[in-house]
Amino acid sequence: MRLMAAALMAAGVMIAAQAVSAHHSAAMFDDEKVVEFTGVVKELQWTNPHIWIQVIRDEQGTKTEWSLEGGSPNSLSRRGWKSTTFKPGEVVTVRFNPMKDGTPAGGFIGAKWADGRTIGRWE
Q: Who wins on pLDDT, 16 or 30?
A: 30
Which pLDDT score is estimated for 58?
Answer: 96
Q: Which residues pair with 96 in a beta bridge?
A: 35, 108
Mean pLDDT (whole number) for 10-26: 49
Which pLDDT score is estimated for 28?
Answer: 85
Which pLDDT score is estimated for 23?
Answer: 54
Mean pLDDT (the chain) is: 86
* pLDDT over 60 (residue 4): no
Backbone phi, psi, residue 41, to 5°: -65, 125
Question: For the chain, how far is it from start to end, CA to CA, in angstroms?
Answer: 57
What are the structural domains, with CATH classification, of the chain? 29-120 (2.40.50.1010)
In this prediction the pTM is 0.78
Q: How many CB atoms are closer than 10 A to CB 48?
A: 8
Are 63 and 57 in contact by the 8 Å Cβ rule? The answer is yes
* pLDDT over 60 (residue 45): yes
Q: Parallel, antiparallel, or unpaired: how do β-strands 62-69 and 105-113 relate?
A: parallel
Which pLDDT score is estimated for 2?
Answer: 65
Mean pLDDT (whole number) for 28-38: 94
Which pLDDT score is estimated for 122?
Answer: 83
